[in-house]
Structure 1
Amino acid sequence: MRAEAAATIRAFLARRFPDETVEDGQDIFATGLATSLFTMELVRFVERTFGFEVPDRELQMSSFRSIDAMADLVVRMDTASATG
């Protein structure tokens, strides 16, 4: 699940920033790729693509800082929905 989520997010970033190479652990805020507007786009992308609403407690930079962080978020939400 995590690897597939990372691949999907990686592909989204590659389409959005075709001239940039984003490594899985790279901080997209530190690089300047993620603006506040793009962060909202990321939130919507994750919600639509993976079929869950990001809870308020996860609406923080740390959840969207990198491909790794977003893949971890997807796994947490999948685990939370499976356990009830």
Structure 2
Amino acid sequence: MTASAVPAPTTDDDVERSLLAFLEKKTKTSWEVDRDLFAVGGLSSLFAMELVVHLEQSFAIAIGGPDLKLDNFRTVRAMIALVARLRAPDGE
């Protein structure tokens, strides 16, 4: 099954569940939506790029330019907001 065959999550709750599942699978750690993924240590800039690829493929968005700042990936809540903004029809 290709990534395009899997429907992208449609609500913030769906995005949250998907992100938490991805993070738990990759890190073998349970995460809270407001926990800073990078402040706790152990996660690298390479992992940040994995997050970018995962978000783009899972939620049918393109992340570039000013959106490629670490603050957009620090917490699950920040990533949910990024996905929602990039999926909005006007991009705002």
Q: What TM-score comes out, normalization by structure 1 length?
A: 0.89
Residue of structure 2 aligned with 1:65, choices 30, 49, 74 = 74
Higher RCO structure (Cα 8 Å, ≥6 apart)? 1
Count how many residue pairs are aligned between Structure 1 and Structure 2: 81
Runs (4+) of structure 1 exceeding 2 A deviation are none
What's the counterpart of residue 16 of structure 1?
26
Distance of 2:90 and 2:74 partners within structure 1: 26
CA drift of 1:3 comes to 1.2
Residue of structure 2 aligned with 1:39, choices 19, 34, 48 = 48
CA drift of 1:53 comes to 1.0
Where does the alignment leave 5 or more consecutive residues of structure 1 unmatched?
Answer: none
Q: What TM-score comes out, normalization by structure 2 length?
A: 0.82
**How large is the Cα RMSD of the aligned pairs?**
1.2
Which residue identity is paired with 1:37?
Answer: L
Where does the alignment leave 5 or more consecutive residues of structure 2 unmatched?
Answer: 1-10
Distance of 1:37 and 1:55 partners within structure 2: 16
Percent identity between matched residues is 32
